[in-house]
Amino acid sequence: MKEIAKLKGIIFVIIIILFFFPFVDIKCNNQKLYEFTGFELATGGKTIDYNGEEQKTEPNRYASLVLILTFLSLLISFIHNRLMIFLTTIFSIAGFASMILLYYDLKKQVSPPDSMIVLEIDFLIPYFAVLVLLFVYIVFSFYILTMKKI
Protein backbone atom coordinates (compact mmCIF):
# COMPACT_ATOMS: atom_id res chain seq x y z
CA MET A 1 0.00 0.00 0.00
CA LYS A 2 2.93 2.38 0.51
CA GLU A 3 3.70 2.10 -3.20
CA ILE A 4 0.19 3.31 -3.95
CA ALA A 5 0.69 6.35 -1.69
CA LYS A 6 3.94 7.19 -3.50
CA LEU A 7 2.24 6.87 -6.88
CA LYS A 8 -0.45 9.34 -5.82
CA GLY A 9 2.16 11.91 -4.84
CA ILE A 10 4.14 11.37 -8.05
CA ILE A 11 1.07 12.13 -10.19
CA PHE A 12 0.60 15.49 -8.46
CA VAL A 13 4.33 16.32 -8.69
CA ILE A 14 4.23 15.64 -12.45
CA ILE A 15 1.16 17.87 -12.83
CA ILE A 16 2.91 20.73 -11.00
CA ILE A 17 6.03 20.27 -13.17
CA LEU A 18 3.86 20.36 -16.32
CA PHE A 19 2.59 23.79 -15.25
CA PHE A 20 6.07 25.17 -16.01
CA PHE A 21 5.82 24.06 -19.66
CA PRO A 22 3.93 25.95 -22.38
CA PHE A 23 0.18 25.34 -22.23
CA VAL A 24 -1.04 27.59 -25.05
CA ASP A 25 0.16 29.41 -28.15
CA ILE A 26 -1.72 32.45 -29.40
CA LYS A 27 -1.33 33.02 -33.13
CA CYS A 28 -2.41 35.45 -35.79
CA ASN A 29 -2.13 34.31 -39.42
CA ASN A 30 -0.19 31.24 -38.26
CA GLN A 31 2.48 33.41 -36.63
CA LYS A 32 2.98 32.90 -32.92
CA LEU A 33 2.35 36.05 -30.92
CA TYR A 34 2.42 34.72 -27.36
CA GLU A 35 3.16 31.53 -25.52
CA PHE A 36 1.93 31.01 -21.97
CA THR A 37 2.96 28.34 -19.51
CA GLY A 38 0.39 26.96 -17.10
CA PHE A 39 2.11 28.86 -14.30
CA GLU A 40 1.86 32.13 -16.25
CA LEU A 41 -1.82 31.48 -16.86
CA ALA A 42 -2.33 30.82 -13.15
CA THR A 43 -0.33 33.78 -11.84
CA GLY A 44 -0.40 36.24 -14.73
CA GLY A 45 2.11 36.42 -17.55
CA LYS A 46 3.73 39.24 -19.45
CA THR A 47 2.99 40.38 -22.98
CA ILE A 48 4.52 43.07 -25.14
CA ASP A 49 2.13 45.56 -26.72
CA TYR A 50 2.54 47.35 -30.06
CA ASN A 51 4.65 50.09 -28.46
CA GLY A 52 7.13 47.57 -27.12
CA GLU A 53 6.04 47.98 -23.51
CA GLU A 54 5.54 45.00 -21.23
CA GLN A 55 2.09 44.46 -19.82
CA LYS A 56 1.11 41.99 -17.14
CA THR A 57 -1.86 39.77 -17.96
CA GLU A 58 -4.50 38.93 -15.40
CA PRO A 59 -4.29 35.49 -13.77
CA ASN A 60 -6.85 33.04 -15.09
CA ARG A 61 -9.07 31.88 -12.24
CA TYR A 62 -9.42 28.35 -13.63
CA ALA A 63 -5.68 27.83 -14.06
CA SER A 64 -5.10 29.24 -10.57
CA LEU A 65 -7.69 26.89 -9.11
CA VAL A 66 -6.10 23.84 -10.76
CA LEU A 67 -2.65 24.80 -9.49
CA ILE A 68 -3.89 25.40 -5.93
CA LEU A 69 -5.93 22.19 -5.83
CA THR A 70 -3.01 20.18 -7.21
CA PHE A 71 -0.65 21.62 -4.62
CA LEU A 72 -3.12 20.87 -1.80
CA SER A 73 -3.62 17.35 -3.16
CA LEU A 74 0.13 16.82 -3.18
CA LEU A 75 0.39 17.92 0.44
CA ILE A 76 -2.34 15.58 1.67
CA SER A 77 -1.65 12.69 -0.72
CA PHE A 78 0.92 11.18 1.63
CA ILE A 79 -1.66 10.68 4.37
CA HIS A 80 -3.05 7.29 3.56
CA ASN A 81 -6.64 6.97 4.75
CA ARG A 82 -10.05 6.96 3.08
CA LEU A 83 -10.88 10.55 3.97
CA MET A 84 -7.70 11.95 2.41
CA ILE A 85 -8.11 9.80 -0.71
CA PHE A 86 -11.70 11.01 -1.00
CA LEU A 87 -10.57 14.62 -0.52
CA THR A 88 -7.85 14.37 -3.18
CA THR A 89 -10.42 12.77 -5.49
CA ILE A 90 -12.78 15.71 -4.99
CA PHE A 91 -9.88 18.12 -5.62
CA SER A 92 -8.94 16.19 -8.78
CA ILE A 93 -12.51 16.26 -10.09
CA ALA A 94 -12.66 20.00 -9.45
CA GLY A 95 -9.26 20.41 -11.12
CA PHE A 96 -10.36 18.39 -14.14
CA ALA A 97 -13.51 20.50 -14.47
CA SER A 98 -11.43 23.67 -14.11
CA MET A 99 -9.13 22.55 -16.92
CA ILE A 100 -12.15 22.07 -19.19
CA LEU A 101 -13.47 25.51 -18.17
CA LEU A 102 -10.00 26.98 -18.81
CA TYR A 103 -10.19 25.69 -22.39
CA TYR A 104 -13.50 27.42 -23.08
CA ASP A 105 -12.56 30.57 -21.17
CA LEU A 106 -9.36 31.07 -23.15
CA LYS A 107 -11.11 30.32 -26.44
CA LYS A 108 -13.73 32.96 -25.61
CA GLN A 109 -11.13 35.55 -24.50
CA VAL A 110 -8.86 35.12 -27.51
CA SER A 111 -11.55 35.20 -30.20
CA PRO A 112 -14.64 37.06 -29.05
CA PRO A 113 -17.50 36.74 -31.55
CA ASP A 114 -17.62 40.49 -32.28
CA SER A 115 -13.87 40.93 -32.82
CA MET A 116 -12.46 42.09 -36.15
CA ILE A 117 -9.07 40.52 -35.44
CA VAL A 118 -8.96 36.75 -35.76
CA LEU A 119 -6.60 35.16 -33.29
CA GLU A 120 -6.09 31.44 -32.90
CA ILE A 121 -5.26 29.61 -29.72
CA ASP A 122 -3.50 26.25 -29.75
CA PHE A 123 -3.49 24.11 -26.65
CA LEU A 124 -0.21 22.24 -26.31
CA ILE A 125 0.73 18.79 -25.04
CA PRO A 126 1.35 19.78 -21.37
CA TYR A 127 -2.23 21.08 -21.13
CA PHE A 128 -3.63 17.77 -22.36
CA ALA A 129 -1.15 15.80 -20.22
CA VAL A 130 -2.51 17.54 -17.10
CA LEU A 131 -6.05 16.63 -18.17
CA VAL A 132 -5.07 12.99 -18.70
CA LEU A 133 -3.19 12.76 -15.39
CA LEU A 134 -6.11 14.22 -13.45
CA PHE A 135 -8.46 11.77 -15.13
CA VAL A 136 -6.10 8.86 -14.41
CA TYR A 137 -5.92 9.89 -10.77
CA ILE A 138 -9.72 10.11 -10.53
CA VAL A 139 -10.13 6.59 -11.93
CA PHE A 140 -7.24 5.30 -9.80
CA SER A 141 -8.65 6.81 -6.60
CA PHE A 142 -12.14 5.40 -7.24
CA TYR A 143 -10.48 2.00 -7.57
CA ILE A 144 -8.63 2.52 -4.28
CA LEU A 145 -11.80 3.70 -2.52
CA THR A 146 -13.68 0.56 -3.60
CA MET A 147 -11.03 -1.70 -2.10
CA LYS A 148 -12.02 -3.19 1.26
CA LYS A 149 -8.67 -2.57 2.97
CA ILE A 150 -6.76 0.66 2.67
Domains of the chain: 2-146 (1.20.140)
- The per-residue pLDDT for range 32-48, each reduced to its tens digit, is 888 899 999 999 877 76
- pLDDT greater than 90 at residue 82: no
Residue-wise pLDDT for 101-126, tens only, equals 999 999 888 876 676 777 888 999 99
Mean pLDDT of the chain: 86
Mean of pLDDT values over 84-112: 91
Under a CB-based contact definition with an 8 Å cutoff, are residues 134 and 38 in contact? no
Strands (E) across 6-119 are located at 22-28, 31-37, 46-48, 54-56
- pLDDT (average), residues 70-96: 90
Give the global pTM.
0.86
If pLDDT is split at 50, 70 and 90, which confidence band does 5 have? low
- 85 vs 51: which has the higher pLDDT: 85
